[in-house]
Amino acid sequence: MSSDFLLVDIIVFLYIITYVDLNKEQIMKVKVRDSKYAKRELYGFHIAEYYFVEGTQIETPKWVDYPAMTIRTGPGKYDFRIIDAANIVEIDYIAYTQPVSTPKFKTVDIKGSKGDIYKVTIGDKHSSCTCHAFMFRKSCKHIREAIAA
């Protein structure tokens, strides 16, 4: 009798291993800090400090330009949720710490046409310069010169 139960247990165990291995989309539960909580006194209703999002992780859309996680929550009005990585507290009850990323930029001193030295900062997405032209137009020849160098 016990050998039958052992055989059933082994078959169930093998089925679970096979199912988990074949099912690449694992359902996860993400605990998220609500960004409205800091100003909860401004709302006329209760704001919880945390909320949970449950679903499978999918690729974050390319138009999202901040560190984020995208969770497919299933069919309905909202198919998926884009969660700011800074607000994630736990994933599957394990504490989440956001990876520290160093900003990718460089600062260059560029000599202007009248001899003034301007600090040009070139980043992944944005650049800036200390000249007057940049203050008004948000672009200048010093940035183009620093990028070309």
Cβ neighbour number for residue 99 with a 10 Å cutoff? 7
Lowest mean pLDDT segment, chosen from 9-13, 70-74, 100-104, 118-122: 9-13
Q: Which of 68, 76, 79, 84 is nearest to 34 (CA)?
A: 84
pTM, two decimals, is: 0.50
pLDDT beyond 60 at 59: yes
Cβ atoms of 31 and 88 closer than 8 Å: yes
Q: Which is more confident, 138 or 69?
A: 69
Find all residues with CB under 8 Å of 59, minimum gap 6, and list them. 70
